[in-house]
A and B are shown apart, each in its own frame.
Chain A
């Protein structure tokens, strides 16, 4: 579904990603781990079009998306969340949900879209907040709303950047359930997390980045045994 070839991204003198190549199959959950500053978020930002790659390319369903803008990539079916949530604070929860809904369906039936967003909010257990302003929600609710907004895009590939950071354990369990359920419905994920328990239990495959380079990839079991990964990141 997604193929990244020899991706390089530099910021001035700093090479944030260097020659990173990998593939994500349809309906797979790929976990990306690595120390702080290893290039995980940059990777998502480049896939998602916020940054343009300096070298290499990205193919989504065999078509190059490396030069497209964020909004075009979103319309092609790639959604993302942010490490620090970025919901629209002076807009209601429902309005937050309607932005992606209306951006992808120009002539969409408004009633149907409202119905769809209510369905997603119910699933995420925040439907009672639908008329609240974004700014009045808690941190955990922001995470849920951001996921809800992404789902309104109806994306095939979802990029989740630290979805479990600073989240209450109960909510974390809920988020696990949501990811599993969506995976069951055929969605593909790239998941970044420092939460080792979550990422090892959810991912089918893991990729490890260190200083912008891919140092390992494999199943969670293989990664746990990998000497280089243990040294660079996992420790003993």
Chain B
């Protein structure tokens, strides 16, 4: 609640640049949390998430540019398109696990990036595609509250999924597909569903990004982008939506504040990632959060 109120009040205290950093951080938070649902909960370690965001981004942008449709409608359509591509990836990857799934999704992302480059007549290629804005007013505050609203709503839906029967089955599939099947779980259905649902959110994030930044290049699919999303989730906590969001916000803000160190900051994040994987597999932030909430529960119980 405190965090929510702080997020609502922040625009008052920040200038345009600060707001811009937060808007991009929320965009990453949506990507990171949806990838956390896919990889952390459902166990599908996909590298195609950034590419799926690009599917949403380019679909929405091209729709607005080629038809009279408003971004308000084209962004959801882009999300559905991303979900459709997610369905295809899920279906094709049914029998792929671990490194094979990772390789397949890397290959998909690279092919998609090359296609976007090659088809420059439609996509603008590396020169970029000029995308119409979401709002006619030049107000960052509108964008800020829009992405904050999208993020909160998406997180609420993903949280509901995690706590539901669906979330339980996702985790069972992650743990042991064969054992889950012998307990009545339709593994194929839930694996594909995990891809479809999380791709929708990736597409949503991408769609918003396109109409906010207003220039799209295939660089949003580059492998380091995906690496950044993974680092955010792993450092935040791979089996925690809140951890993934915290990881995204912290890394994005840190990346901005460490801008003077240029490429060195990525080395720092890489080191942090390695340390996390070695010593704390559920992230650095989630265990702290858990300890704090446990402590406050204990204090509460003692004061009772």
Q: Which A residues form the contact surface with B (CB < 8 A)?
A: 48-50, 69-71, 74-75, 79-80, 82, 86-91, 95, 98-100, 102-104, 149-150, 152-153
Contact = CB atoms under 8 A, between A and B. Distances in A.
Nearest to B172: A99
A69 B182 contact: no
B176 A86 contact: yes
Query: Which of B169, B172, B182 gathers the greatest number of chain A CB atoms within 10 Å?
Result: B182
Contact of A70 (B165, B171, B174, B182): B182
Interface of B: 165, 168-169, 171-172, 174-176, 178-187, 239
Contacts of A103: 169, 183-185
B178 A70 contact: yes
18 contacts: A49-B181, A50-B181, A71-B182, A71-B183, A74-B182, A75-B184, A79-B183, A80-B182, A87-B179, A88-B175, A99-B184, A99-B185, A100-B184, A103-B169, A103-B184, A103-B185, A152-B183, A153-B184
A71 B186 contact: yes
A48 B175 contact: no
Nearest to B164: A102
B178 A88 contact: no
Given A79-B182, A90-B239, 15 more contacts: A50-B178, A69-B181, A70-B182, A74-B182, A74-B184, A79-B183, A80-B182, A88-B172, A89-B175, A90-B171, A90-B175, A95-B171, A99-B184, A103-B184, A153-B183
B282 to A, nearest CB: 9
Contacts, number: 70
A102 B186 CA distance: 12
Contacts of B186: 69, 71
A153 B182 CA distance: 10
A49 B184 CA distance: 11
A104 B187 CA distance: 14
Contact of A88 (B165, B171, B184, B239): B171
A167 to B, nearest CB: 19
Contacts of B182: 48-50, 70-71, 74, 79-80
Contacts of A88: 171-172, 175-176, 179-180
A137 to B, nearest CB: 14
B20 to A, nearest CB: 38
B183 A74 contact: yes
Given A89-B175, A99-B172, A104 B184 contact: yes
Contacts of B181: 49-50, 69-71, 74
Contacts of A86: 176, 178-179
Query: Which of A71, A80, A95, A153 gathers the greatest number of chain B CB atoms within 10 Å?
Result: A71
Contacts of B171: 88, 90-91, 95
A150 B182 CA distance: 9
A60 B219 CA distance: 56
A75 B176 CA distance: 18
Contacts of B168: 95, 98-99, 102
A152 B172 CA distance: 15
A99 B169 contact: yes
B198 to A, nearest CB: 19
A130 to B, nearest CB: 15
A98 B22 CA distance: 40
Nearest to B188: A69
Contacts of B184: 71, 74-75, 99-100, 103-104, 153
